Chain A
Amino acid sequence: MPQIDAGPRPGETTDVLVLSNVVFSWDQRNGFGLSIDEFAVARGEKVLITGSSGSGKSTFLSLVSGIVHPAKGSIEIAGVETAQLRGAASDRFRANHFGIIFQMFNLLPYASICDNVLLPLDFAPDRRHRALARGTIHDEARRLLTRLGLPEEFHGRKAAQLSVGQQQRVAIARALIGNPDIVIADEPTSALDRSRQRGFLTLLFEEVLRANSTLILVSHDETLAADFDRVEPLHTIAQPV
């Protein structure tokens, strides 16, 4: 078993994600699949992947985060080959290394804001360990939430009581607690109106930088490109098969 507690390594410039010769296809769904010859993301990089809906963005993210597994090829994350990981090992690896933000409805509506933020730590011992470095995990959740503009009085509320914008900020806190290597965001701004998109991205960038994480964001919206280090249309990375 390789050492999986990679953690953030300041100053390191190696690639945190490397995909090579990956072939994947869904069993059902008309045999839709992707093949990726070579794709790498450096640690600390902020990458925007663009593509219209149905171009395979979700499949790409599922593949990267290990929710689905490739038939062939290699996926290396933080120096660990993950293409062969299955079952609990794969889930554990995802919990430890990825923070994931969806388009909307990121939260369990019946759990409190604080519990929603702490949720990944139950599955990710490495991240829990890092979160504990600065006090209790609750302290860390409160610190993150407050910095994201959600004052204490919100923390005990049920997620369903928040506005969409507030929920997306909670999603940032959940994705970043315990400093995962990679933050994956799937159209995180599309539920927000344009005036709030900018603010959301600014917050997200700040926190990714602070956590020394890497950001991979997929969106159909190419106008977001401005602040990213790199913009890659999906069709240049992956070919449908």
Chain B
Amino acid sequence: MIVVRLAFQSLHNRWLTALLTVLAIALSVMLFLGVEKVRNGAKTSFANTISGTDLIVGARAGSIQLLLYAVFRIGNATSNITMQSIENIAGREDIDWIVPLSLGDSHRGFRVLGTSKGYFEHYRYRQKQKLEFEAGGPFEDLFDAVIGADVARQLGYGLGDPIVVEHGIGAISGKDHDDLPFQVAGILRKTGTPVDRTVHVSLEAIEAIHVNWRPDARAIVPTLSADRIRRLPLQPKAVTAAMIGVKSKLDTFKVQRFINEYRVEPLSAILPGVALQELWSLIDVAETALSVVSAMVVLTAILGMITMILTTLNERRREMAILRSVGAGPRTIFGLLITEAGLLTSAGTALGAVLLYLVLWAVRGAVDARFGIYLALDPLATWEVITLLAILAAGCLAGMLPALRAYRFSLADGMTVRQ
């Protein structure tokens, strides 16, 4: 194939511009595929924020609201669930376990979660992965706290460091419970879930914090000492929400119906997986916008290639005339330029795919540790291959523009060799 050989040699002759064009296409293709990979990674990681929990129960609310405060610690519950109701649900035969959650306090901007030790046992993320301790263990003492990886990193906490819990959830608050210092008993390993940003204490500890406080958040003077608090009955009367595991998945809907129709107080039970999908669909628009932007980048790179070919076209009119004189038809000239565009685009897409995997391979560990986004090193999915082929086709199609121009030149110039 003389045309392919000539296209190769001609490109080789202009290797620097050709290389830059290939790089531009490669980077855009890498970006395009990379955005999709990160998008999928984020989506999967998000969907795996909580797993192994069959139902989340809270005061009657929309499923997204319940999910937001119970799992993502965003916003507040409208009201609580009485401990009585929790016990009623826990007493059912089809319930395997129930982990109460009590929210409402914070520590330097991080939410404080009161829960039972069962939390460390039953909370699962990313394909049923258990919480693991980087250091220490679950809370044993009333004033023990277990902190997430981000809390430890951002505040520079180590085991045994004192923690002062604030009432309310402001980052800065004058109403510190500074007479009741907790201490770090455990630090959890990074999960990429809201657990990383949570300070965990026992349900009793939450009660203890509030012994000295009235609902209007003003301290009763004089305050009780820590020792005296330890002797008080600290059984909580109400919690914010609870995670539930059923014995048999088949019973999930039965339990959900029971909770939703619960007479004593208005409650809602949600399936976390379904609610997570609903929540993700809310940010679908942003997701689409991201894809559109990266598609634009690919388009820009292809336009760049066309510009490159077009600008060289004028100085190559002589080359075209020589080829015409030795018997190359305008169609051969047309084919030469299409081939050139095709070679550039295919080199660009291939290099882009290779770069993508190199970068993925290099950063996936860091991304997982830093952002909790798990980037899979899967081979290209069918649709990704189709996308690459579409980019290739677009490149060749775009090559028609300079090719048609050269075709017209070669017809109009005839034997005249133009500079």
Contact = CB atoms under 8 A, between A and B. Distances in A.
A203 interface: no
A217 to B, nearest CB: 14
Contacts of A123: 2, 326-328, 332
Place the interface of chain A in its size category.
20 to 34
B202 to A, nearest CB: 77
Interface stretch (A59-67, A132-140, A141-149): A59-67
B412 interface: yes
A110 B10 contact: yes
A56 to B, nearest CB: 11
Contact of A111 (B6, B321, B324, B415): B6
Place the interface of chain B in its size category.
20 to 34
A174 interface: yes
Given A62-B416, A67-B414, A100 B325 contact: yes
Given A92-B327, A94-B327, A110-B9, A58 B322 contact: no
B415 A107 contact: no
Contacts of A100: 325-326, 415
B415 A65 contact: yes
Contacts of A174: 326
B225 interface: no
Contact of A59 (B322, B414, B417): B414
Nearest to A27: B412
Interface string A163-196: 0000000000010000000000010000000000
A106 B322 contact: yes
Contact of A186 (B332, B412, B415): B415
A65 B325 contact: yes
Contacts of A186: 415
Q: In terms of DSSP, what is the predominant structure of the interface of chain B?
A: helix
B412 A108 contact: no
Contacts of A91: 324, 327-329, 332
Contacts of A98: 325
B329 A58 contact: no
Nearest to A61: B415
Contacts of A12: none
23 contacts: A58-B414, A61-B415, A62-B414, A67-B324, A67-B415, A88-B331, A91-B324, A91-B328, A91-B329, A94-B325, A106-B322, A109-B13, A110-B13, A111-B9, A119-B322, A119-B323, A119-B326, A120-B326, A122-B2, A122-B326, A123-B327, A123-B332, A186-B415
The 10 lowest CB-CB distance pairs between A and B, nearest first, are A95-B327, A110-B13, A123-B327, A62-B414, A91-B329, A62-B415, A120-B326, A100-B325, A122-B2, A67-B414
Interface of B: 2, 6, 9-10, 12-13, 318-319, 321-329, 331-332, 412, 414-417
Interface of A: 28, 58-59, 61-62, 65, 67-68, 87-88, 91-92, 94-96, 98, 100, 102-103, 105-111, 115, 119-120, 122-124, 174, 186
Given A67-B324, A108-B9, 15 more contacts: A58-B415, A61-B415, A62-B415, A65-B415, A67-B414, A87-B329, A91-B328, A98-B325, A100-B326, A102-B417, A105-B318, A105-B417, A108-B6, A115-B9, A123-B2
